[in-house]
């Protein structure tokens, strides 16, 4: 088995991938879309991408890639995110990190470094790489990235102690599973009328299926046109889920419903 995730080595996605990859070979890409593309093409058996953070919310590039490519979600990984400030020394004027990490540390950065230039880069580990090359740059990332001239200047700088991110482990579409305690659906109704969202959610409420997340993303077709990402606490194998999805498909007859798969959740520490 080979897995692919966000690089370079040392990202939180890499740490999540290591937790499920059982010592498998891990390859890296510079963006979430490139990871999903690699799995859809069958270049790798597994891909690990961030989905949602407890402070900053959805990783929108991930949601959009899941609506665009045909892949399966086979596992959910939830892990605490504890950020450190890393640099060659205290004299820097730029702080580089993933946009999610910069946002998760907003209060700390406003308070401690109000004059620093914040630079969004491809990943947290990429920001630390820049800091390693340039003393005027600091990175925000996992403290284990401190080595080869980089030190930890501050730890636990995220705005909330409970900071956590959900990741999805992806597999090629043929490996989609119906077994698992949670399922993810993507719905494009290709319609817009009063009460549409209410109607889309009723099939689940009527069958006592708990929703754990509903997120709307612009379809990209026209303003006000949305794709809905729905996570439910039920497996695709269950009769009630099958019936709810049949109702959903009728409501979305001008668009489409994609079942990304059923899966279980793994909580990984650090
Ligand atoms: O840059 C990284 O280290 C990542 O794995 C990406 C990512 C994200 O996109 O949310 C993952 C976890 C943290 O929330 C911060 C950044």
- Residue 236 sits in a domain whose CATH number is 3.30.70.260
Residues 125 and 151 in one domain: yes
Q: Which of 56, 71, 131, 74 is nearest to 97 (CA)?
A: 131
For the Cβ of 59 lying below 6 angstroms from any atom of ligand 1, the answer is yes
From 98, 140, 144, the mutation candidate for ligand 1 (largest count of ligand atoms within 8 A of CB) is 98
Residues 100 and 74 in one domain: no
Give CA–CA dist 165/3, Å, rounded. Answer: 19
The residue ranges of DSSP E strands in the chain, in sequence order, are 2-6, 25-29, 46-53, 57-58, 71-80, 84-87, 94-97, 117-120, 137-141, 151-155, 164-172, 182-188, 211-218, 226-232, 256-263, 265-267
pLDDT per position in the chain (270 positions), as tens?
899 999 999 999 999 999 888 777 999 999 999 999 999 999 999 999 999 999 999 999 999 999 999 999 999 999 999 999 999 999 999 999 999 999 999 999 999 999 999 999 999 999 999 999 999 999 999 999 998 999 999 999 999 999 999 999 999 999 999 999 999 999 999 999 999 999 999 999 999 999 999 999 999 999 999 999 999 999 999 999 999 999 999 999 999 999 999 999 999 986
- Which of 173, 208, 241 corresponds to the end of one domain? 173
* Ligand 1 nearest atom to the CA of residue 142, by list position: 3
Total residue count of the chain as it appears in this document: 270
Residues 59 and 15 in one domain: yes
CATH of the domain at 122: 3.40.190.10
Give CA–CA dist 18/163, Å, rounded. Answer: 20
ipTM exceeds 0.95:
yes
Residues 55 and 168 in one domain: yes
- For ligand 1, the distance from its centroid to the CA atom of residue 99, given in whole angstroms, is 8
Residues 98 and 204 in one domain: no
For the Cβ of 165 lying below 6 angstroms from any atom of ligand 1, the answer is yes
Residue 92 token pair: 């820097």
Going 133 to 135 to 136 to 138, the CA torsion angle's sign is: positive
What are the φ/ψ torsions at residue 253 (nearest 5 degrees)?
Answer: -65, -25
Split into its structural domains, the chain has a count of 3
- Boundaries of domain holding 34: 2-80+163-173
Residues 73 and 168 in one domain: yes
Strand pairing partners for 118? 95
Residues 7 and 70 in one domain: yes
Give CA–CA dist 123/139, Å, rounded. Answer: 10
Residues 101 and 234 in one domain: no
Strand pairing partners for 217? 227
Residues 167 and 137 in one domain: no
- For ligand 1, the distance from its centroid to the CA atom of residue 188, given in whole angstroms, is 27
Residues 151 and 45 in one domain: no
Q: With beta carbons less than 8 A apart as the criterion, state whether 87 and 96 touch.
A: no
For the Cβ of 241 lying below 6 angstroms from any atom of ligand 1, the answer is no
């Amino acid at each position: 088995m080979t897995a692919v995730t966000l690089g370079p080595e040392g990202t939180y996605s890499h740490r999540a991938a290591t937790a499920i990859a059982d010592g498998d070979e891990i390859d890296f890409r510079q963006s979430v879309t490139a990871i999903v593309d690699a799995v859809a093409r069958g270049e790798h058996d597994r891909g690990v991408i961030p989905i949602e953070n407890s402070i900053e919310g959805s990783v929108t590039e991930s949601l959009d890639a899941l609506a665009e490519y045909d892949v399966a979600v086979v596992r959910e990984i939830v892990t605490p995110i504890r950020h450190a400030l890393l640099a060659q020394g205290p004299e820097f004027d730029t702080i580089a990190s993933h946009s999610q990490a910069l946002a998760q540390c907003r209060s700390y950065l406003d308070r401690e470094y109000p004059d620093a230039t914040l630079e969004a880069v491809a990943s947290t580990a990429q920001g630390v790489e820049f800091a390693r090359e340039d003393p005027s740059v600091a990175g925000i990332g996992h403290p284990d990235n401190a080595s080869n001239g980089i030190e930890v200047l501050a730890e636990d700088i995220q705005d909330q102690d409970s900071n956590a991110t959900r990741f999805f482990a992806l597999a090629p579409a043929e490996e989609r599973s119906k077994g698992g305690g949670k399922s993810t659906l993507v719905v494009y109704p290709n319609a817009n009328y009063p009460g549409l969202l209410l109607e889309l959610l009723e099939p689940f409420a009527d069958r006592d299926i708990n929703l754990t997340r509903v997120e709307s993303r612009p379809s990209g077709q026209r303003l006000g046109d949305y794709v809905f990402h729905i996570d439910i606490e039920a497996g695709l194998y269950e009769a009630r889920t099958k019936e709810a999805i049949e109702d959903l498909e009728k409501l979305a007859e001008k668009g489409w419903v994609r079942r990304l798969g059923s899966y279980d959740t793994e909580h990984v520490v650090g």
